[in-house]
Amino acid sequence: MDQIADILGPEGLLSGRLSGYRHRPQQQAMAEAVTRVLADGGTLICEAGTGTGKTFAYLVPALLSGRKVLISTGTRNLQDQLFHRDLPLVREVLAAPVRIAMLKGRGNYLCRYRLDAALQDHRPRFAELRQQLLVVRDWAPVTRSGDVAELDLPEDAAIWPAVTSSSDNCLGQGCPEWGNCHLVEARRRAQAADLVVINHHLLCADLSLRNEGLGEILPGADCFIVDEAHQLPDVAGSFFGTAVSGRQLLDLTRDLEVEYRREAGDVPELLGRADDLRRGVLDLRLSFGDEVRRGPWSELFEQVEATRALDVVRTRLNDLHAALSALQGRGKGLDSCLARSADLGERLTLLTEGGESEDIRWYEIQGKGFRLHQTPLQVADIFQSHMQRYPAAWVFTSATLAVGERFDHFAHQLGIGDARTERWESPFDYGRQALWFVPRGMPDPAAGAYVAAVVELAARVLEYSRGRAFLLFTSHRALREAAQGLESRIPYPLLVQGSAPRAELLERFRRLGNAVLLGTASFWEGVDVRGEALSCVIIDKLPFASPGDPILAARIDALRRRGGNPFRDLQLPQAVIALKQGAGRLIRDARDRGVLVVCDPRLLGRSYGHAFLDSLPPMARTRDLLEVQRFFAAEDGSELPR
């Protein structure tokens, strides 16, 4: 391990070459552990606390290994950061002649065929998108990668489905633009590279043989490094199941209209069939009502109007498929729509007539859309079989994998039975940098007045912190109630999830410097705000998942049937890891200071509280609000009277 010490040690190469770099024993120890598993094979599960520098700790061994390495990240943003910033920096310092590439799912690349179709589409829908479409049109001739992240348009911009492809609508080698396809070129670069950066969605899609982009890369990989690995079990569950969404059905009708004008203008019946299906899908969405929710399939079948509307959609999809079958061979676009209608019909049949399968069937309603799912009860056996198909070294890492000192929960989720495990504490001085406050006198979280009590407490804490806070909630209902309660109580800018895109809210939060941001699940992790702008994190409740969630409910029932303890084996570990993620927003740098407030009295009042206490960083702790006031007063050198 002398080579790792020569690079990451106190007098190592990185220390001499990178401004601001500081040696961390935890980082060096992790790099040595990764080096061993890349050389010897096997599986490593490791947790590295915030500030360890785990990215460099696996990049250095990966670049030095001489092997084909795939690195999978949790999100596309992390993927971009790793590929465009961290990886080139380390490669340059090491002077490592390693070919690198990044590969994303096909929906991240401009599709020239669909852009051309959109530019020719003069229906009112595209008139509304014309401004975004012109931005894409002007960018298309100059981009080399075709990666839509190059454009300064929101990730959820309405134009993207019209100018990118999906596995449903891609024409493959039948596409007239196949020779100029950005996705095909990205795949070629990935196949030729020594180190490829992907993401969990792409990894799972290809492990499940859905051919989202890796082609022949997975069989050639010697090492897999999975960062933000705590997200992988949920991603795997979604990819190893099946689903049909309202958007997929509506996209089929829209694409069919385009192909009709290109290839079948003499068959007006086709447009009628597409319009019938569109109206059926919209009626089905209306039958679900306005409430955002998710529930088990059995609940859906109790809604007579919804089941009738679903039967109508199935019938009209079959009618459309029959009409397309009569035109088979007339054109590549129409043949693609024929294949999509058949696939969607098969999936709807599986979802509605699934028989006695143990898989979990459920639905979700959000905004103007809906999605029908079939998810495996467990992904452990499935994931293990995929790992065995690719005999390689595997590294799973995150800042939040362990419950206490143990990795049993994570390993069990993915069926990993024989792995080395390591855990390194954060190098931050939490005892000096952070204060953990659990207030006295809070009501039970189930009480009707609980959110009002959280608002009252938050208003006082925010006075001391001078804003500069995240308020993290376990439900949208509590968030909305708290936002109303705080609006007239605090003199600081209030940023509420849902009022603007997530990235915009975070940018405004950083820029304002004294804002208060209210968020739910998407703000509990993957958010990095360094410095004084974020000096307080207030968590309303211990983040136990709702027992009414259809996936959780099914897994609880299965555990009970096997004689297990669902709370101990499933609900508690998930909540511990979620709380670690939320608390991890507070201290992101060696110079940060801040207060973590956990409002929930169960933390200290219930026997299971120690599972949370044992898993969080060693912050100073108090139950005295005056200590919170003193902590913030010390920032400007003032001292409260004792």
DSSP 449-465: THHHHHHHHHHHHHHHH
Over residues 165-175, the pLDDT tens digits come to: 988 888 888 88
Q: Which helix (H) or strand (E) holds 58?
A: helix 54-64
Least confident interval from 140-154, 291-305, 520-534: 291-305
Contact 532, 468 (CB under 8 A): yes
Contact 535, 596 (CB under 8 A): no
- β-partners of residue 470 are 517, 537
The percentage of residues in the chain with a pLDDT greater than 90, rounded to a whole number, is 70
- β-partners of residue 394 are 43, 224
Q: Where in the chain is the domain with CATH 1.20.1440?
A: 242-375
Could you give the CA distance from residue 527 to residue 201 in angstroms, rounded to a whole number?
19
Could you give the CA distance from residue 449 to residue 51 in angstroms, rounded to a whole number?
38
Over residues 411-455, the pLDDT tens digits come to: 999 999 889 999 999 999 999 999 999 999 999 999 999 999 999
Over residues 444-479, the pLDDT tens digits come to: 999 999 999 999 999 999 999 999 999 999 999 999
Over residues 380-418, the pLDDT tens digits come to: 999 998 888 888 999 999 999 999 999 999 999 999 988
pTM of the prediction?
0.92
Query: What is the pLDDT at residue 582?
Result: 94
pLDDT band at 214 (very low <50, low <70, confident <90, very high): low
Residue tagged 């208060």 (tokens): 516
User: Under CATH, domain 430-636 is a member of which superfamily?
Assistant: P-loop containing nucleotide triphosphate hydrolases (3.40.50.300)
Looking at this protein, which amino acid is placed at residue 641? P
Q: Which candidate, 355, 360, 364, places its Cα nearest to that of 374? A: 360
CATH number for the domain running over 242-375: 1.20.1440
- Give the strands of the sheet with 536-539, arranged side by side: 494-496, 516-519, 469-472, 536-539, 594-598, 434-437, 620-622
- β-partners of residue 361 are 374
Query: What is the pLDDT at residue 477?
Result: 92
Q: Residue 441, exposed/middle/buried by CB under 10 A (0-12, 13-18, 19+)?
A: exposed
Q: Which helix (H) or strand (E) holds 69?
A: strand 69-73
Token representation of residue 206: 């290809």
- Which residue pairs, CB below 8 angstroms and at least 24 apart, start in 504-512? 509/533, 509/534
- pLDDT reading at 200 higher than 80: yes
Query: What is the pLDDT at residue 390?
Result: 81
pLDDT band at 258 (very low <50, low <70, confident <90, very high): confident
Contact 270, 260 (CB under 8 A): yes
| φ, ψ dihedrals at 291, nearest 5° | -70, 130
Token representation of residue 22: 């500081």
- pLDDT reading at 16 higher than 90: no
Q: Where in the chain is the domain with CATH 3.40.50.300?
A: 2-98+194-231+380-424, 430-636
Query: What is the pLDDT at residue 640?
Result: 44
- pLDDT reading at 528 higher than 70: yes
SS3 content of the chain, % helix, strand, coil (to 5): 50, 15, 35
Altogether, the residues listed in the chain come to a count of 642
Query: What is the pLDDT at residue 185?
Result: 93
Judged by DSSP in three states, 436 sits in strand
CATH 3.30.70.1230 is right for the domain spanning 2-98+194-231+380-424: no
Residue tagged 């007339």 (tokens): 330
Over residues 494-516, the pLDDT tens digits come to: 999 989 888 889 999 999 999 99
Query: What is the pLDDT at residue 616?
Result: 92
Judged by DSSP in three states, 591 sits in coil
Query: CA end-to-end span of the chain, whole Å?
Result: 53
Residue tagged 């340059």 (tokens): 92
555 torsion bin: left (phi>0), alpha (psi -120 to 50), beta (else): alpha
Query: What is the pLDDT at residue 198?
Result: 94
Could you give the CA distance from residue 319 to residue 321 in angstroms, rounded to a whole number?
5
Average pLDDT over residues 133-137: 93
Token representation of residue 443: 């009501």
| Distance from chain centroid for Cα 287 | 29
Over residues 21-51, the pLDDT tens digits come to: 889 999 999 999 999 999 999 999 999 999 9
**DSSP code per residue over 537-563:** EEE-S--PPPTTSHHHHHHHHHHHHTT
